[in-house]
Structure 1
Amino acid sequence: MTEPPPPLPWTAWREATITAVAPITPRVKSFRLAVDFADSVRAGQHVDVRLTAEDGYQAQRSYSIASAPDGSGTIELMIEALPGGEVSGFFAEVAAVGDAIELRGPIGGAFVWGPEDGGPLLLVGGGSGIVPLLAMLRLRARVAPEIPCRLIYAVRTRAEAIALAELEARARDEPGFGLSLLTTREGAARRIDADAVAGALAGLGDPARVFVCGSNPFVAAASELLLAAGIAPARIRTERFGG
């Protein structure tokens, strides 16, 4: 019997096939990709995606993985169409089921969570920064629902909130999980502030792990608020999505 080849290291570029495409918000689409490392992904990791034009020109972008290992042999990326984005433009306008793309991963070892890390767990996301946090929420719900968890999610409008129906269903149906949605450009137009942090902590207690993801300004502001609330710096992990 022939032994299967050893798995490729994360540094190797490999081919992945798009198996499903679905709209998430007016600017974000979900892409399911068949990959050979799906079961080894840790919640919070990302992949690099590379596109190569016929003339050899290459464009590369990193995307967080929204899914947690589920035995399907696939990972899910949620990709936002950005103005002038070479890679995101391809996914928004061209990519279709059956297409093959190059990627490498999974990447990242600091911004990850698993049930062995315990809780309580506080997640703080801004805009598309929800994506790696969504992987953590999905993993918790499947293998460690007893771990208390709260999510503070800041987004411009409800229509732009990624996976909002899923998040609200989890808040309604999952004991031990709470959601605080802050819309910055509609309704009360509230940004993340000390009261939002205090409200999450009041229902959670002292968090053992805190993950913050979003734009540079959002992560900076949220981190300052968390520290001011008395959370030890060693418990806070951050990931920034630029601008």
Structure 2
Amino acid sequence: MTEIQPSAPLVFRWQEARIAAIAPVTARVKSFRLAVAFADGYRAGQHVDVRLTAQDGYQAQRSYSIASAPDGSGTIELMVEGLEDGEVSGYFFDVAAVGDVIELRGPIGGSFSWDAPDGGPLLLVGGGSGVVPLLSMLRRRALAAPDLPALLIYSTRTRTEAIALAELEARHRDEPGFTLVLAVTREAGGRRIGSDTVAAALASLGSPTRVFVCGANPFVSAASNHLVAAGLARGVIRTERFGG
């Protein structure tokens, strides 16, 4: 769902993807299952470029993180937020129907991706829709490395806006070695991710060998600074940013 700026020109070819299923995630976010040829050949955390072409030839393009993990279904999942004046997200949220065919290319992204051989412990930090590629990593962990220690710090404005919260809380309850730390910023008693949050997470998880941070630019900068101040080397921290 993470909508970021279009990727720089790449060698990946554009290909067709058919919408196989649509489901609500939150009031502002929908899930789209897309049947596409590479569905079982990508890494958790990667993204795709989506291109729409109007009848007059006008094209709009955006990048979206993949929420799913390779599972043999022949599909990938995108989570798209309906943004005001969003050309691509507007189509997805207001027009798209099961059976529609769109163009996409990918999977894209090498450093911001994870698979079981990469190991852990795994520390994930997401803000808002930045949780989507991290959700992909957690889903992959559950399939391929369920004993790997992992912790997700997830910052969201309200619980109702939190993406896949029921799934994340179920994983926290049922999966040994996984911990969810939820920071709700705009509800009574809310809090932002700070040095105390990071310190408590590291005390619980231990020293992570893989760290991924995703969200809007200010969030990623602040979270990364807290991680470095807590003693983590910048070289182990991978970031993905979107928006302003």
TM-score normalised according to structure 1 size: 0.95
| CA deviations over 1:175-217 (Å, ceiling 9, x no partner) | 0000000111002221110111111111100000000000000
Runs of at least 5 residues in structure 2 that lack an aligned partner in the other structure: 1-9
Number of the residue aligned with 1:51: 52
Structure 1 residues 223 and 187: alpha-carbon distance in aligned structure 2, compared to 1, 3 A threshold: same
Q: Determine the C-alpha separation between the residues in 1 that align with 2:124 and 2:11.
A: 26
Cα deviation, 1:57-83, whole Å, max 9, x if unaligned, reads 000000000001000110000001111
Shift in Å, 1:50 = 0.4
Compare CA radii of gyration and give the structure with the larger one: 1
CA displacement 1:85-137 (0-9 Å, x = unmatched): 00000001000100000000000101001111101000000000000000000
Give the aligned partner of residue 198 of structure 1: 199
Alignment-derived partner of residue 4 in structure 1: none
Alpha-carbon separation, structure 2, partners of 1:187 and 1:40: 43
Matches within 5 A, 1:168-207: 168-207=169-208
CA drift at 1:242: 1.7
Aligned pairs for 1:207-222 within 5 A: 207-222=208-223
Structure 1 counterpart of 2:237: 236
Partner of 1:61: 62
Runs of at least 5 residues in structure 1 that lack an aligned partner in the other structure: 1-8
C-alpha separation in 1, matches of 2:47 and 2:157: 24
SS of equivalent residue, structure 1 residue 39: coil
Kept after mapping to 2: 8 A contact 1:10/1:106: no
1:1-243 pair list within 5 angstroms: 11-243=12-244
The one-letter amino acid of 1:147's match is L
CA contact (8 A) 1:43 1:112 kept: yes
RMSD over aligned CA atoms reads 0.9
Q: Is the 8 A contact 1:213 1:240 kept in 2?
A: yes
1:65 maps to amino acid: I
Partners of 1:204 and 1:213 lie apart in 2 by 19
SS at match of 2:44: coil
Contact 1:10 1:105 in 2 (8 A): no
- In the TM superposition, residue 240 of structure 1 has moved relative to its aligned partner by 0.3
1:113 is aligned with what amino acid? W
Q: In the aligned structure 1, how far is the partner of 2:61 from the partner of 2:52?
A: 6
Counterparts of 1:164 and 1:64, CA distance in 2: 18
Task: Look up the equivalent residue of 1:114 and give its one-letter code.
Answer: D
User: What SS does the aligned partner of 2:21 have?
Assistant: strand
Q: Secondary structure at the match of 2:97?
A: coil
Cα distance in 1 for residues equivalent to 2:193 and 2:104: 34
Contact 1:10–1:107 (Cα < 8 Å) also in 2: no
Offset from partner CA, 1:2-46 (integer Å, 9 cap, x none): xxxxxxx96111110000000000000000000000111100000
TM-score by length of 2: 0.95
Q: What SS does the corresponding residue of 1:112 show, helix, strand or coil?
A: coil
